[in-house]
Structure 1
Amino acid sequence: MQLALGLFIGFSTPALSQTVPPHPLRSQPPVKVSETARTKAETNSAPAKEKSAPAPVSGGGETIARVGGTELKEDEVKALVAGLNPRDQAAIARDPSLLAQMVRVLLANQLVLKEAVAKHWDQKPEVAAAIEKAREAAIVESYLRSVSVVPADFPDQETLQSVYDQNKSAMLVPRQFQIAQLYVASGADGDKAAEEKARKKLSDVQAKLKQPSADFDAVARTDSDAKDAAEKGGAVGWVPETQLRQEIKASVIGMAKGAVSEPIKLEDGWHIVKLIDTRPASTLPLSDVKDQLIQRLRDERANAMRRAYLGELLKKDPPAINELALSKVVAAPTP
């Protein structure tokens, strides 16, 4: 069963940044080896088409789950995980709860399948045709994978180093800022009383922050309207400058470490930002991107082997296409 996990965690602090993933260097693979590799990566990350899950064959090991008289065994779950692409496997390793989610989807599919088969849904002509097409596609895909197996020792260290050197510009990590913020929500549009109350709170917060012994962490905990961040003293963490809102970045760039900005008005309210530290732009070392780079190169080699195999197949038995008839099919109106 293919499961596109597509993990994405939005940035919870209101309006401070553009969409910020949990690790700014891992939101997308940092190396662009070639168009072929890029296309393969996009294909792997796209949501998989929904398919009716077949009834699990009784496997070995401990029973993991049970629904409607069907048991899911430990070996079957291992086989499901083994069938996922490397990115999804890594996601499950980081967050085991995703595996439970996958199992629930499988079990729900089993209930749907049981009901559909009981109603002979699989015998409907259009469904039977779709099943046959899916069967053929599975056979073709499985066979093509078997003829495009990349040697275990590819790529070697020399190739890896060469590709890394050629793609260093794609591995630049932008300057990053470690920041904290204090957020004061504005009133609803047109609500003058709420707006006035918000401005009064902002004025009180500014007064606290300007006191000689002011503690930004403490004020954020008690006065920030961004509750999640407030619990951490307003701490946001490290944010690449490319993901900061332009209004925030304009203030942060000119600040010294430990400095606190004036209130920055955005559509949701006012943001007061403290700059804790700065990291200059840098290039990721090979050790940090080695695994991703190896996977990209192996994907590219597998694609090349697949194309070469198909090319030889078509050379031995060239297809004959009636271009005129084909053009009429394309031009024909959809019924």
Structure 2
Amino acid sequence: MSARRIIKRLFGPAFLLLMGLWMATLACSEERPPMGEVLARVGEQYLLRSAVASQVPADLKPEARAILAREIVENWVNQQVLAQMARKEGLQLTDAEQWQIDALRASLLAQQLIRKKLPADELVSEQEIQSYYQAHQEEFRREFDEVHLVHLYLEKVDRAIQKEIRAASSLLEVIQKNFLDKQVTPILEPNGDLGYVVFDNLRPEFKRALRFRRLGRIYGPIKTRDGYHYLQLLDSQPAGSVRELALVKEEIRQRLKMMKYENHLRDLIAQAKKQIPVETFLQNIH
């Protein structure tokens, strides 16, 4: 795929519109900067290299970075020439449009304050995770029967793999030994450990093969319209059972991180409101 197509997929019209608003309010300068820092000038407005560089993702390839930078410059120039022509014709922003710019400025400044005042990454201890898990068991109760499966898909019958599977006690070991988990397959289910999945959501062919749910057994080859499948049932849990802590540990960690962040943000807002006068007149909403 070409660099230009990559950029169009990553940065659509909505991105460029927001970029134009951002640059119109923050990236240009009326003071004459060093010409080595200037990427474009429209009238007395200058677009600086630092402004464009801040909007180009660092992980893009050099070719894609250059194309995106040129598109940003072109977009800025086009907007500036139209805006300056509009001023010459006496056009002005409406109150609603000016409010959008003020709101964007406020949002950017607020984000700077949040980054300065709040920790970059909230720390969550193992004890906090354990305590949350014990106090919120109902949140992790299964609504449906679930099975823990290892899955292998083969487009055609492979006698060597089939022989290896018959002699194996672990389907996952066979998959990893033959690098089958690295293969891109044309089906939804990947090769490897699928984790716990809802039994009723499985393909009809899989449900028929697993109807007796014998733990540890490797089922297959299971013929479907797209090829051949092998399944190994590692575990089966009924609806109403509680997921083990190991299965939900990272989910709890992220949940607690978000809760801590929201608490710190509320404290920061409360602190700001003590320093800055605030009044609301909700009775004026019609």
From the CA coordinates, give the structure whose radius of gyration is larger.
Answer: 2
Higher relative contact order (CA 8 A, sep 6+): 1
TM-score by length of 1: 0.43
